[in-house]
Amino acid sequence: MSERILVAVAWPYANGSIHLGQVAGAYLPADIFARYHRLKGNDVLMVSGSDAHGTPVTLSAEKQGVSPEQVFGRYQAEFLDNWERLGIGFDLFTTTHTDNHTQVAQDMFLTLYKKGHIYKDTMSQPYCETDRRFLADRYVEGDCPHCGFESARGDQCDNCGRTLDPQDLINMVCKLCGNAPIIQETEHFFLRLSAFEDQLLEWVRKQDHWRSNVKNFSIGYLEGGLHDRAITRDIEWGVPVPLEGYESKRIYVWFEAVIGYLSASKEFGQLNDNEDRWSDFWQSDSRSYYFMGKDNIPFHTVIWPAMLLGYGGLNLPYDVPANEFLNLEGLQFSTSRNWAIWLPDYLDKYEPDPLRYVLSANMPETSDSDFTWKEYVRSNNDELVATYGNLVHRILTMVSRNFDGKVPEAGTLDSVDNDLLDHARRSFDETEAGIEACHFRAALQSAMGLAREANRYLERQAPWQTVRTDRQRAASTLWVGLAVVNCLKTILSPYLPFSSEKLHAMLGFDGSIEEHGWVWDRDELSPGQPLGTPEPLFTKLDESLVEEEAEKMAG
RNA sequence: GGCAACGUAGCUCAGUGGCAGAGCGGGCGCUUCAUAAGCGCUAGGUCACAGGUUCGAACCCUGUCGUUGCCA
């Protein structure tokens, strides 16, 4: 029975490249999950897009002396290229700067407003008399009232990490002109989050399939009490407030960006000449999974659900498998300190599958994890190449040399043969259950365990010897070996789509793995089926790479 | 400061009441079909620290220290 699965992935700010932390935290797990469900034959919609609005984009634009459109346009193009090269298969990766998104976001705003979930009030904001504009949190800086750090931002101090209100800053200055802003009252719209507290708490408490840290954190967040939050700002870049008299105000980015999941779903339908397509994933018996880093949890377990409840008639998140953070060589990824591995840089030099493998094997599912170049090389050489790639290669070359490159016909199977085939069945089921539950690391371990077991099997059956003494026995062994490789091809394909596709062809199949589906049958390879020319699936990397990359990062 | 997590082998990490685990790395040996890949054996741990509950604690409770995220 086909299921409907919405794979919703956090929207990256379009003011800088994607780094490996974001890949490990959100994009890769989402893609593995989506690929698996597509193989299962389920109806999958995977969406995300560039967060084109928000102050990081305008700040970058002003720094570079270009328009915000140019900034987000450049990164939107880069993101699309990166997804293609890394094999992140979005059904639609759009942006928040589309007419469609504006319309959907304004509809959400108006509906909530009419239903009384949004109300007007006034608040105090820094106003720069020189630039004649209100200043967003990140447009002011000053001394941190807690630690005295001299260039704390309006929303947070980068030194002591505390969150701030602009009014807290000592010696506050406008980042644009350097003059001191004044504090001025301004009218804004507020989301009545407090009204949803009980309903959300009841809902979150029922989510027993959520990761415990996600659930506990959300419950704690709700029990601490929800405060109504301002959802508009006095800025020019963003979605206009759709009410007369408020033309100078924009919907604030944290409220508007999450609506992207819905607007992207609608845009997907329009692009495919099926206007109502979005409702399959939002109003019917569909499950939605939201992938993101841990810093984004409350937006997806509390605020977005509150908006959906207020709007009415739309599905709440089914699961929010948020990941912890990936560190780099023991330190946090930091854009400002340029401590990062940027995805476009990686893709210019290396293959996609090894990265997908290393990040999956080390995915920060339950706690922060660490990426090091040393581990990257080790993992590629000792696991991908030595365990899996070599297994495939030794079996294929033996068949190629001794059985005319055709699937040999098995004779009677012995208990060792059957044990391995049983193991393959178990690994297939375990990998399936693991991915289904968003336990990507464990599922990958199960698959790799099968590759190790197959190497042990070969050692025991030694077909390179029996081929000279008992040709039928060697044929049976290699037939079993091929059947297991065929299994590995499928269960590893969500993780290693490029090499699995290559292997699929080498095993003599036509078409793609996606057409083939998430199935494994030991008898799938028919005797006599001609195999392709065996080629290594992965390449060993030289240790010198570790030092080269270390030097690059130090510089 | 409040809340939620995390701290386990050289490294990266599993393990939530019942004999401390895996992968990789180290050491020794075997093998040679395969990308010098593979297989077996082996060494290696005060489960952050200190208390408590229990017949029994890495696991439950309290406190301390360290790390992370969110919030004020």
Closest nucleotide to A534: CA versus each C1': B34
Nucleotides of B under 7 A from a protein CB: 1-7, 11-16, 22-25, 31-35, 37-40, 67-72
Predicted complex ipTM exceeds 0.85: yes
Closest nucleotide to A535: CA versus each C1': B35
Closest nucleotide to A299: CA versus each C1': B70
Closest nucleotide to A442: CA versus each C1': B14
Nearest residue to B72 via alpha carbon and C1': A163
Identify the CA nearest to A455 among candidates A385, A540, A383, A387. Answer: A387
DSSP label of A319:
B
Query: In sequence order, which residues have a C-beta less than 8 Å from that of residue A231 and are 6 or more positions away?
Result: A109, A118, A188, A189, A190, A191, A251, A252, A254, A255
* Distance of C1' in B34 from CA in A242, Å: 67
* Distance of C1' in B64 from CA in A250, Å: 48
Phi-psi map region of A511: left, alpha, beta (phi>0 left; psi -120 to 50 alpha): left
Give me the tens of pLDDT residue by residue for chain A, a chain 555 residues long. Answer: 589 999 999 999 998 999 999 999 999 999 999 999 999 999 999 999 999 998 889 888 988 999 999 999 999 999 999 999 999 999 999 999 999 999 999 999 999 999 999 999 998 888 999 888 888 877 888 887 776 777 777 777 666 666 677 777 888 888 888 888 988 889 999 999 999 999 999 999 889 889 888 998 999 899 888 989 899 998 889 999 999 999 989 999 889 999 999 999 999 999 999 999 999 999 989 999 999 999 899 999 999 999 999 999 999 999 999 999 998 888 888 887 788 999 999 999 999 999 999 999 989 998 888 899 988 999 999 999 999 999 999 999 999 999 999 999 999 999 999 999 999 999 999 999 999 999 999 999 999 999 999 999 999 999 999 999 999 999 999 999 999 999 999 999 999 999 999 999 999 999 999 999 999 999 999 999 999 999 999 999 998 998 888 888 876
Helix (H, G, I), strand (E, B) or coil at A26: helix
A228, A190 in Cβ contact below 8 A? yes
* Distance of C1' in B65 from CA in A223, Å: 28
Residue with token string 């809902």: A203
Amino acid in the structure at residue A415: S
* Distance of C1' in B42 from CA in A383, Å: 22
